[in-house]
Amino acid sequence: MKFCVRCFAIFLMIMTYESLSAQSDLGAMDYHLVKCEMAAARPFLSHSWVAGVCGNDYLLKELMRARLDAVIRFDRHAFILQMSHDGYSRYGELTTTVGYAVRFARKVALGMRYYYLYQHVDNYEAQHSVTFDVSLYAQLSRKLCFGFEVYNPARLRYSIRGPDIIPMRFTVLVHYLYSEKLSFSVQVLKYLPGRFDVSAACYYQPLHCFYLSFACSLYDTNFGVMIRCRRFYFMVDARYNYHLGFSPEVGVGMQLKVKN
């Protein structure tokens, strides 16, 4: 265990040292866009990227999470591919996502994602479901952005014709760029049926290779770190639910193309 910790610390020092000599065109705005989950925000990214993320909910081995992400930007267009699995071998949910977003007049973008949900439990028949979301993201001014997303607006059901409706989710986001290195956001989220949540987040870039984020909601607190080393990114997130406990997450990403 001590050997792993030492190797991890050496790795971080090497990445930080290498990053100090690398030019970065990313700022607090891009860091917010990387962490933003709305499809319509993707055309505003300055680059295409791929990433692999793994995590754990509440330090339980039965609640592992793994995700592969790819965002391919081309001019005003963004193509989104994602595959994730929550759970472990005996039960869980595998989600495959394909999406597309396009930006209009450099200020407004519309996006849509289609989801295939595969839910499996030992000794039970697996469920196959499909749904989609639609989103809008707009730059109201040079510093202010607004986003809106609806998940499962058609109220589709699990197993296509099953008795249970997949919950709808409404998300409203406001993001304010205070400076090139500091930005803030407020997000309101509502499930139907289900919970209501409000969160506030801060994104800060103390160094051109180093990024920090902090978010606080009604249910949990999240702290994130991202280090850039040339075309590669190393990300660590720690989320603490006030009732259920700690959930760590690590990820590695690679920039594919920088916008000229």
Q: Tokens standing for 249?
A: 């997450």
How far is the first Cα of the chain from the last one, in angstroms, to the nearest whole number? 44
Give the model confidence (pLDDT) of 114-156 as tens digits: 999 999 998 888 899 999 999 999 999 989 999 999 999 999 9
User: Residue 228 — φ and ψ, nearest 5°?
Assistant: -105, 130
Q: Are 71 and 42 in contact (CB under 8 A)?
A: yes
What pLDDT, on the 0 to 100 scale, is given for residue 28?
65
pTM: 0.83
* Domain extents in the chain: 2-258
Residues of the chain scoring pLDDT < 70: 1-28, 257-260
The total of other beta-carbon atoms located within 10 Å of residue 75's CB is 9
What pLDDT, on the 0 to 100 scale, is given for residue 10?
42
What pLDDT, on the 0 to 100 scale, is given for residue 108?
95
What pLDDT, on the 0 to 100 scale, is given for residue 260?
42
In one letter, which amino acid is 5? Answer: V
Q: Are 247 and 58 in contact (CB under 8 A)?
A: yes
Q: Are 109 and 138 in contact (CB under 8 A)?
A: yes
CATH superfamily of 2-258: Outer membrane protein transport protein (OMPP1/FadL/TodX) (2.40.160.60)
In whole angstroms, give the CA distance from residue 157 to residue 151. 13
Beta bridge partners of 121: 91
Q: Are 258 and 52 in contact (CB under 8 A)?
A: no
What pLDDT, on the 0 to 100 scale, is given for residue 2?
42
